[in-house]
Chain A
């Protein structure tokens, strides 16, 4: 297993290196400059902008800028944000927990409620329950997340005032408020953004689970299980569901990084202080160090989630244990 793991880690490092080079080149090939906007919008003299360009090292040749970035990154220094004037690593450290909380909650709901509903659909194939769940989930899937977010924020937050309309915590809470109070406060703020993302993502988990289980239910070993006289519930969950998890695991591996970087609109609509909004601001302002930092973090998530999924495959099915 150690050899297999070392191989996968080496593969991950290679992926990471290629992604770094690509990201750097693509970012610099994009038109626009983090300081050019000052010359335009704030009517700052180009000579003054040149001073700032020198301060941020943007006047250096691209090769040298890349070398500076790589040597810094190897030491754990991703540079200083041009917009925030703060180390990128500090910004990522501050924003990552909010994103992990939001994405983690969404994945938890998707892969519990979503899978359960997918199983129910598969068992009720062709019946009213299947059709109803399919229609509802696909309607949610088809709706743009920012629109759902706007409607939920307006209806639940502004009109009904049941939950906070935006933010991650009540700023009026005292700094020394009890832990439970603070946790409950964060949970209240989490409901609407998480619900928005769940509405648009739940359908995929349901559809994957439904299709996979239907395929498994038709397998000969399922007939054997039934023939042995096992209760229906045991047949479905112990024999069928476990074997139908593979495509769902793949989906999980793909979604973890996708949700982390793709919740930009939802984070904006709900003023959720995560990585998505940080990345969106960075792209709009061409804040190169932050763009690189957030992109590399997502690359790490992609590599790590792929590795996790492979490990999960092996755990679920001894036949795919490559290292044995």
Chain B
């Protein structure tokens, strides 16, 4: 072996490394500053195909990309009642009307085209809803469509939806959940074949952006659809970068390699300090569908047939809620970007402010309520007891969640102040979920993502949900009645929802801790950069780059992007 071998290799390594520190040459020829958005996703959008985004594929990265490719019949206007049929914006459907209380008729926009140029027809809608309503294919979609009896085509452009019962949110259910697929391309494929098909690797949609390419684990590139019938997109190219670590996502944004992060940046609040001095970035707060709460199990965790020895008592549950300073905890975690909800209401629900403001804290009242139920500190150890049994509970939470760990410590301290011993049980994510689903807990630190419709509350907060997602077995027939009437009423459902939420708060099945506002950071060079609560990036096509503010990456030629898309399509 040559004596020079190690040294030679070292010299070669350094020689190769030397030019690396040079910044990359601007890669694309500048023709027209049409605009680019580089958006960082926390997961790989491996399957952004309607009806296939089920199970573990039902994540926001897939939804974010699918929302650029596939339109709905219509979308609800943010913040408006999902029961109000005037509060929807047309997309694939140009208009809709009622034949009777059970029948909705949609007329498709004749300008709507798939990215391969074929017109969007009633057959596409019928085909996709047939798949979506099959619980073996798309259980996530089939559940909210259970009152949809059938979808039929009348000619090329008219679709008729028939429901099995009259209720206020028929239009919402007919439009929000399902994005039609191109039947002419996928109808011959079974769901399993579709998942493995070339279509799944390069989807053909009808939205403002068309598929260009995906680089495994790194990027997905979309190009503006120049023939988009609702208007030409102001942003020519949309690049999704994938970074699973929050640090990597923030670094990409702060280093100028990305224009936005598709993720709420608060908490930690320290992110605000890092972003505040940056003049090139703008914070965009958006009402979120997220909700955090302490769920009180009302069944004995060892024997589900019996009531929980402590938490089945509504007075004890109320006392626990009153002992907590929820406002202070929410402020500590989110700053001004969260509110304490009354009942299970995230900010995306139009019903969220109907029931007034959350009460508390009132530790004195909490102690009195507990004393009235026989809980006293008999042995002077600071922990209340009754009949020799201490008032001791466990609180389980996913160990990976820093937010929940931080709040659990505060909850522990605040309950200790009223004589309740709370043992914290951090669990590995899958184990936590397994125990939660099995009802094997005293108190669970839960988090939920809600649909914009309050009708979804029925799943987790009604007697009918027991055995399903109502894992804590909360049951109040009055709440059931109020919610059911609110859903089916032909009149104004708001008073019924107000009563239902107040009653849930009074029953204290959970301590509702926070309903956050999500805070996104977006590059300041964009105009009209609004985000939707239900799908933050769905309006990117309406954005544009402010004149004179374009970056080198904005100089993408429309022709180049379109030809890339066409090449990808071939």
Residues of A whose CB lies within 8 Å of any CB of B are 31-49, 51-52, 54-56, 80, 82-87, 91, 94-95, 98, 108-109, 112-113, 115-116, 119, 150, 153-154, 157-158, 161-175, 177, 181, 184-185, 187-188, 191, 233-234, 237-238, 242, 268-271, 273-274, 277-278, 280-281, 284-287
Kindly list chain A residues whose C-beta atoms are within 8 Å of the C-beta of B58.
38, 42
Residues of B whose CB lies within 8 Å of any CB of A are 1, 3, 6-7, 9-10, 13, 16-17, 19-21, 23-25, 27-28, 36, 38, 44, 46-47, 52, 54-58, 135-136, 139-140, 142-143, 195-196, 200, 213, 215-219, 221, 239, 241-245, 247-249, 251-252, 254-257, 400, 428-434, 436-437, 446-449, 459-460, 467-469, 471, 553, 560, 564
Kindly list chain A residues whose C-beta atoms are within 8 Å of the C-beta of B243.
166-167, 271
Contacts known (A35-B55, A112-B13, A242-B1); A164 close to B218, Cβ less than 8 A:
no
Kindly list chain B residues whose C-beta atoms are within 8 Å of the C-beta of A47.
135, 139, 468
Distance between Cα atoms of A115 and B10 in the complex (Å): 10
Would you give the shortest CB distance from A240 to chain B, in whole angstroms? 11
By the criterion CB–CB under 8 Å, are B217 and A43 in contact?
A: no
Q: Which 3 residue pairs are nearest across A and B when measured between Cβ atoms?
A: A32-B430, A273-B217, A48-B139
Distance between Cα atoms of A45 and B469 in the complex (Å): 5
Kindly list chain A residues whose C-beta atoms are within 8 Å of the C-beta of B56.
34-35, 38, 82-83, 285, 287
Distance between Cα atoms of A54 and B192 in the complex (Å): 13
By the criterion CB–CB under 8 Å, are A46 and B20 in contact?
A: no
By the criterion CB–CB under 8 Å, are A31 and B19 in contact?
A: no
Among B140, B221, B255, B459, which residue has its beta carbon within 8 angstroms of that of A157?
B255
Kindly list chain B residues whose C-beta atoms are within 8 Å of the C-beta of A273.
216-218, 242
Kindly list chain A residues whose C-beta atoms are within 8 Å of the C-beta of B200.
85
Kindly list chain B residues whose C-beta atoms are within 8 Å of the C-beta of A95.
216-217
By the criterion CB–CB under 8 Å, are B213 and A177 in contact?
A: no
Contacts known (A270-B248, A271-B245); A165 close to B430, Cβ less than 8 A:
no
Residue of B whose beta carbon sits closest to that of A47: B468
By the criterion CB–CB under 8 Å, are A42 and B248 in contact?
A: no
Distance between Cα atoms of A46 and B58 in the complex (Å): 16
By the criterion CB–CB under 8 Å, are B247 and A51 in contact?
A: no
By the criterion CB–CB under 8 Å, are A271 and B468 in contact?
A: no
Would you give the shortest CB distance from B258 to chain A, in whole angstroms? 9
Distance between Cα atoms of A168 and B257 in the complex (Å): 12
25 contacts between A and B (CB under 8 A): A31-B428, A32-B433, A37-B430, A37-B433, A43-B449, A44-B143, A45-B468, A48-B139, A85-B57, A86-B195, A112-B6, A157-B251, A163-B21, A164-B257, A166-B251, A167-B257, A177-B27, A238-B3, A269-B248, A271-B218, A271-B242, A278-B217, A280-B244, A284-B430, A287-B56
By the criterion CB–CB under 8 Å, are B247 and A45 in contact?
A: no
Contacts known (A51-B135, A108-B13); A84 close to B46, Cβ less than 8 A:
yes
Would you give the shortest CB distance from A123 to chain B, in whole angstroms? 13
By the criterion CB–CB under 8 Å, are A32 and B21 in contact?
A: no
By the criterion CB–CB under 8 Å, are B241 and A271 in contact?
A: yes
Contacts known (A35-B55, A95-B216, A172-B239); A158 close to B254, Cβ less than 8 A:
yes
Residue of B whose beta carbon sits closest to that of A176: B564
Among B23, B249, B429, which residue has its beta carbon within 8 angstroms of that of A284?
B429
By the criterion CB–CB under 8 Å, are A86 and B46 in contact?
A: yes
By the criterion CB–CB under 8 Å, are A170 and B27 in contact?
A: yes
Would you give the shortest CB distance from A30 to chain B, in whole angstroms? 8
Distance between Cα atoms of A166 and B218 in the complex (Å): 10
Excluding A44-B140, A237-B3, 7 further A-B contacts by CB distance (< 8 Å) are A31-B434, A39-B469, A40-B437, A85-B52, A169-B219, A171-B219, A184-B20
Kindly list chain B residues whose C-beta atoms are within 8 Å of the C-beta of A32.
428-431, 433-434
By the criterion CB–CB under 8 Å, are A172 and B27 in contact?
A: yes
Among B400, B433, B564, which residue has its beta carbon within 8 angstroms of that of A39?
B433
By the criterion CB–CB under 8 Å, are A185 and B24 in contact?
A: yes
Residue of B whose beta carbon sits closest to that of A32: B430
Residue of B whose beta carbon sits closest to that of A112: B9
Kindly list chain A residues whose C-beta atoms are within 8 Å of the C-beta of B52.
85
Distance between Cα atoms of A191 and B7 in the complex (Å): 20
Distance between Cα atoms of A42 and B290 in the complex (Å): 11
Contacts known (A154-B251, A170-B24); A52 close to B55, Cβ less than 8 A:
yes
Kindly list chain A residues whose C-beta atoms are within 8 Å of the C-beta of B564.
175
By the criterion CB–CB under 8 Å, are B469 and A43 in contact?
A: yes
Residue of B whose beta carbon sits closest to that of A236: B3
Kindly list chain B residues whose C-beta atoms are within 8 Å of the C-beta of A44.
139-140, 143, 469
Would you give the shortest CB distance from B344 to chain A, in whole angstroms? 11
